A = this chain, B = another copy of it.
């Protein structure tokens, strides 16, 4: 009888408990923590929406709770009552416990502790369990929100979502750092980016975006590099030059930051996240001016990390902005499909977006004339043949276009201030790690 009443009761989520006082409730979740005092045992239950406090006074139930280790999955039925001392102001009393699975083994880290002290290898080796920790889960909630913000912003601007193949026939974009696949007995490669495909799709949809994995056989073991990451790519046609692309990047950055605040407020609060300020117009400096700002010699071919950090400080001091565009990078440092600066072809119509002094986005205007591609590849003494199916697009009329790519994990790492991109990556892949 009791059982059938219980079953007919809808599940109450932890976040709904504060508004459920004086009602019978049925909670389901993980035993997050037990605390046994002299006359009372507290059980904190965790579900996807947060934590709920359950108060056990009945000695028989307390004895049962004694047996239920942390992380065991249970159903708790009881009465929700107001208690100003309880988290959220409401707790569950007179509870009955029912196991929904077998009792849990002791987890590799204590998930109920407010902070995480375990080393990175432990956290990564046991990620399916350690990610349950609210502090470790938070960056993944932020990532989901950021991706939603990316897509919503671009959809609002008339972009169409595409899904391009990750198995490709030639390692064209860069011969190095590419993973080789046995494809029915012949070689194939994992795509390092959707670059060529998104450009081709500008010919079909004008404006496209893709959220998907990219693969880099990155032989460097650094805190910033992964062998597989999620790339947020966009490409648009009918631009005047790279500044039209930068306007879209600005809108996207704003949309992503806003989405993180609106869709993942609990994760932001848990991490004590200070949302960055994205000005209405993100400041931009040309590469040549950037060198002057950081006191680098004018013939420096690229910006190093120290330069980027100095530029980040300059942007905050001079413009009150966490973001800064650097434009016009030397053509020699950009890929062959980059459009040169029309008035001085030493420089390019390209840009990086720095976020707090670290590169976050790379983009620019691309070549759009077939003849320019042929000339660019010839200048680099590259054969045309591997690029044939890529170049075909440009024979049949392509508008001036450009695009950009965010690395999702780097964005999240920079947002939450993680010192290693692996800390915010779901099951990272690198030189040494292929599991779990």
- Per a CB cutoff under 8 Å, which of B126, B148, B161, B190 touches A155? B148
- Per a CB cutoff under 8 Å, which of B164, B183, B217, B396 touches A434? B183
Give 1 or 0 for each of A394-413: 1 = CB within 8 Å of chain B CB: 01111110000000100000
Beyond A144-B162, A206-B48, A408-B163, whether A431 also contacts B396 by CB under 8 A is no
Decide: B397 and A30 in contact? CB cutoff 8 A.
yes
State how many angstroms separate the Cβ of A143 from the closest Cβ of chain B.
Answer: 8
**Given the complex of chains A and B, what is the CA–CA distance between A408 and B161 in angstroms?**
13
Q: Which B residues touch A213, using CB under 8 A?
A: 163, 165-166, 212-213
Tell whether A105 is near chain B: CB-to-CB under 8 Å.
yes
Q: How many copies of the chain does the oligomer comprise?
A: 2
Beyond A399-B28, A427-B197, whether A102 also contacts B371 by CB under 8 A is yes
**Given the complex of chains A and B, what is the CA–CA distance between A208 and B212 in angstroms?**
17
Give 1 or 0 for each of A373-400: 1 = CB within 8 Å of chain B CB: 0000000000000000110110111111
- Per a CB cutoff under 8 Å, which of B107, B129, B393 touches A128? B393
Tell whether A71 is near chain B: CB-to-CB under 8 Å.
yes
A residues with CB within 8 A of B = 11, 28, 30-31, 47-48, 71-73, 100-105, 107, 126-129, 131-132, 137, 140-141, 143-144, 147-148, 155, 158, 160-170, 179-184, 186, 188, 190, 197, 200-201, 203-207, 211-213, 215, 217, 219, 227-228, 230, 238, 368-371, 389-390, 392-393, 395-400, 408, 426-429, 431, 434-436
Q: Which 7 residue pairs spanning A and B have beta carbons closest together?
A: A104-B397, A389-B436, A128-B200, A71-B397, A48-B206, A169-B434, A128-B393
Given contacts A103-B397, A128-B203, A129-B203, 14 further A-B contacts (CB under 8 A): A47-B206, A48-B205, A101-B399, A102-B370, A105-B396, A107-B396, A128-B204, A137-B205, A144-B160, A165-B426, A165-B427, A166-B213, A167-B190, A180-B181
